[in-house]
Structure 1
Amino acid sequence: MWFLGMGTDIGIDLGTATVLVYIKDKGVVLKEPSVVAIDKNSNKILAVGEEARQMIGRTPGNIVAVRPLRDGVISDYDMTEKMLTYFIRKGCGKKRVSAPKVMVCVPSQATEVEKRAIIDASKNSGARTVYLIEEPLAAAVGAGIDINKPSGNMVVDIGGGTTDIAVISLGGIVVRSSIKIAGDKFDEVIIKYIRNKYKLMIGERTAENLKINIGSVFKDLRNLTMPVKGRNLITGLPDVVDITTEEIRIALKETVRMILEAVHSVLERTPPELAADIIEHGILMTGGGALLHGLDKYLESEIGVSVRVADDAISCVAMGTGIALKNFEKLELNKDMEVELVE
C-alpha cells in the first residue's frame, strides 16, 4: 500500500463530477473530474481525471470512461479506491510521508453503508484516520461562517450528483435535506430537450457547455444563442442547430423547481428563531451547480429571502474539510456529524 506522511492533514471533496484535494498549509492543490478511463480487455487504468474526461464519448470499444461516483455516493468501489489513491498522490507531489489524517465530505442523509464505503476506500488509499463531515457543514466552514454560534445559517450546496440543504446552528445541522437533483441532472434534461425538439443527439460535454455558456434559469437575464453539433436521429448524419438561452431555461424549468421545493421544505421545518436568523443572514449557495446563471435570483424571487453565491463556490467544501480537520476541537463538531476510524 502507498502511504503519505505522518501529520499531513488532507481534506477531500469527493464529488460526483469533480474531486478536490486540500492539503494542510497549502490550500486546494488539486481539482479534477472524477472520471477513470479503463481498458476493458486488460482492466488496466489508462487515465484519471481531466485526461480521462477528454475521452468521454470518444473512445474505441475496448476503452471506457467511467464515473465511479453517482448521486454523491460510490457506485464502483474499486475504481473509487484507485482514483482516490491517484489524486492523493498527485496532490501531495513528491512528498512521501506516511499515513495522513483525512476528512472526506458526504451528502446529508448518506446511509451507513455509503459512509462505510467512503471510509474503507479512503483507508485503502493510505489514510491512517478518516473523518466524515456532511457537505453543508464543510461548505459553511469553507465559506467563512462561524458554525459554532447560536445563530441560524442556511446552506444550499449544489454539486454534480446531489443538492444538500441544511440549517446550521451551534456546530450542528438542525434541519437537513438531500435530493439527487444537481449539475448532472441539469445536463441530462438539456440532452433530453434537444433530442425531443430537434431529434438531435448530443453528448454530456456539449450539454455542459450549453449550460455554462448560454444557460440561465431566470427570465430575461441572458439572451444568447449557440450553435450545437450532434447526430440527427432521423438521418443518422451529423447536424447543427442553434439553441437559445430561453430554450435552456425551459429545459431546466422542472429541475430547478424541484430544488426550490426542497429549499421550501427545509424552511417549513426550521424553528422560528432560526428562520428569523436566515431572513437576516440570507441563504448561502455553494458548489458548482450554484454557478448556474440566474439560479440565485430565481430562488430569491420565489422564496423572498436574499440568496448569495459563495465567493469560491466550487472550492468551498474542499476548503471546509481541511479547515474543519485543522480546527477539529475548536469547531466542536457534533459526534453524530462525523465518523472516526482509527487504525
Structure 2
Amino acid sequence: DRLNVKGLLTKPNILICCPTNITTIEQKAIIEAAEKSGGKNVYLEEEPKVAAVGAGLDIFQPNGNMVIDIGGGTSDIAVLSLGGIVTSSSLKQAGDKLDTDIMNFVKREHKLLIGERTSEQIKKEIGTALEPEKVIGMEIRGRDMVTGLPRTITINSKEIYSAMHETLMNIVEQAKEVLETTPPELGADIINTGIVLTGGGSLINGIEELFSSELGVPVFAATEALDSVVLGTGILLENIGKKRNKKDGFFSRLFKSN
C-alpha cells in the first residue's frame, strides 16, 4: 500500500512491528535506525498486537482476546486485554520454516533439489495441516541429485502433510503454553470468542481445524489474514497524532481523552 505523504520534505511518523520477545537493546537499535532514516516520531509495537487490531479485534476492552500470527520468519502468539499483552510467546518457526521442511522432504525422499519458490507453491496448492482424506497430486520440477539433470515428479498432499506436521505442532504447543499461563477469567473469554489466526500461515488448508482440536477452543482465520499487520499499522498510525508523549505507552496514548 502506498503511503500518503503531504510533502517531499515532510518527516513521517513511523510505526515498526517487532516480535514479542525482542530485547531492549534490539528495540533501541531499531528505533535509532528509523530515526536516522528520517522518521519524525518512531514507535515500536509487538506484531501480534498490531495484527489483532488489523483483524478487527477490540483489544482495548477488559475481556481477553488471543491472536496467533503465523508470518514468514516468526509465529507470534499473544493474549491481549485492555490494550496490552497479558501473555505471549514468539518462535522462529513459521512460513519460511514450512517451505524449508518441504524442500528437505523432497530432497530426502525423492532425491530432487527444488527452490524456495517451488516449495512455497507446493505449500499453497496442496499443503494441509490435517491428514488428507482425499490425496491430491501435484507435478513439480527440480534437479536430480544423482544425474544433475532436470527431472519432473508427482508429489502428493499426504507427503506434504508429513513434511509440515512437526513445525505446525511446534506452533500448536507454543500456543498451548500461552493459554496455560493466561489468567482464568481471560481464558474463559477466549473460549467464548475464539482464537484469531493471522498471517500467511493461516491460509494453509485445515489449519483452523488443527488448532481448534488441539487447543479445545474455536479458531478461525481473519478475513484479511495476509494484510492484518498492514491494516493494523494503518489504523494505529491514523491515531498517532492525537497523543505524542513518548513517556507513555503507545496504546495508552491513543486512548487517553483529548
Compute the TM-score of the two structures, normalised by the length of structure 2: 0.90
Unaligned runs of 5+ in 2: 254-258
Measure the CA separation in 1 of the matches of 2:87 and 2:180.
Answer: 10
User: Do the aligned partners of 1:143 and 1:316 also contact (CA within 8 Å) in 2?
Assistant: yes
On the 8 A contact 1:122/1:130 being kept in 2, the answer is yes
Q: Match of 1:262, as an amino acid?
A: Q
Aligned residue in 2 for 1:125:
37
Matched, 1:322 2:239: no
Tell me, yes or no, if the aligned pair for 1:162 and 1:178 is still in contact at 8 Å: yes
Q: Give the 3 Å change call, closer, same or farther, for CA 222–146 of structure 1 in structure 2.
A: farther
SS in 2 for 1:315: helix
Shift of 1:125: 2.7
The partner residue of 2:186 within 260, 274, 282 is: 274
By percentage of residues, which structure has more helix? Answer: 2
Corresponding residue to 1:307 among 202, 213, 219:
219
Q: CA deviation at 1:211?
A: 0.2
Q: Secondary structure at the match of 1:261?
A: helix
2:79 is aligned with 1:167: yes
1:73-112 equivalences under 5 Å are: 91-92=3-4, 96-112=8-24
Q: Indicate whether 1:213 and 2:110 are aligned.
A: no
Give, as a single letter, the amino acid of the residue that structure 1 aligns with 2:104.
Answer: K
Which string of whole-angstrom CA distances, capped at 9 and with x for unpartnered residues, describes residues 183-221 of structure 1? 000000000000000110100000000000111111226
Any conservation in 1 of the 2:5–2:12 contact (CA below 8 Å)? no
Name the aligned partner's letter for residue 124 of structure 2: I
**Partner letter of residue 258 of structure 1?**
N
Q: Partners in 1 of 2:170 and 2:250 — Cα distance?
A: 26
1:157 counterpart = 2:90: no
- Find the aligned partners of 1:212 and 1:230 in 2 and give their Cα distance: 18
Does the C-alpha gap of structure 1 residues 154 and 243 become closer, same or farther in structure 2, counting only changes over 3 Å?
same
* In 2: Cα distance, 1:222 partner to 1:178 partner: 33
**SS in structure 2 at match of 1:308:** strand
* Separation of aligned partners in 2, 1:275 and 1:93: 42
Cα distance in 2 for residues equivalent to 1:138 and 1:273: 23
- Equivalent pair of 2:13/2:41 in contact (CA under 8 Å): yes
Corresponding residue of 1:141: 53
Q: Which residue of 1 aligns with 2:27?
A: 115
Structure 1 position 294 matched with structure 2 position 215: no
**Aligned residue type for 1:191:** M
1:190 partner amino acid:
I
Amino acid at match of 2:69: D
Which residue of 146, 167, 177 corresponds with 1:234? 146
Cα distance, 1:254 vs structure 2: 0.5
- 1:187 lines up with 2:103 in the alignment: no
Asked if 2 retains the 8 angstrom alpha-carbon contact of 1:175 and 1:269, the reply is yes
Q: Which residue of 2 aligns with 1:88?
A: none
Deviation at 1:285, TM superposition (A): 0.5
More strand by share: 1
Asked whether the equivalents of residues 88 and 178 of structure 2 are also in contact (C-alpha less than 8 Å), the reply is yes
Mapped partners of 1:243, 1:142: distance in 2: 36
Q: 2:52 is paired with a residue of what secondary structure?
A: helix
Q: Please list the CA deviations of residues 39-61 of structure 1 after superposition, one character each: whole Å capped at 9, or x if unmatched.
A: xxxxxxxxxxxxxxxxxxxxxxx
Residues 134 and 337, structure 1, Cα contact 8 Å, conserved in 2: no
Residue 256 of structure 2 corresponds to none
TM superposition shift of 1:98: 1.2
RMSD of aligned alpha carbons: 2.3
Q: 8 Å contact 2:13–2:40 — kept in the other structure?
A: yes
Shifted more, 186-195 versus 294-303: the winner is 294-303
Counterpart-to-counterpart distance in 1, 2:9 and 2:123 = 41
Task: Kindly state the Cα deviation for residue 116 of structure 1 after the two structures are TM-superposed.
Answer: 2.5
8 Å contact 1:103–1:322 — kept in the other structure? no
The whole-number CA distance in structure 2 between the counterparts of 1:220 and 1:160 is 24
Q: Does the 8 Å CA contact 1:158/1:289 hold for their aligned counterparts?
A: yes
The letter of the residue matching 2:181 is R
Deviations 1:247-281 (A, max 9, x none): 10000011001001000000110110000000000
* Superposed counterparts of 1:21-32, under 5 Å: 29-30=1-2
Greater displacement, 314-323 / 118-127: 118-127
* Aligned AA (2:25): V
Q: 1:215 to 1:100 in 2, by over 3 A?
A: same
Distance (whole Å) between structure 2 residues aligned to residue 211 and residue 271 of structure 1? 36
| Residues 167 and 337 of structure 1, relative CA distance in 2, 3 Å threshold | farther
Cα pair distance change 1:196/1:118, threshold 3 Å: same
| Paired AA for residue 198 in structure 1 | H
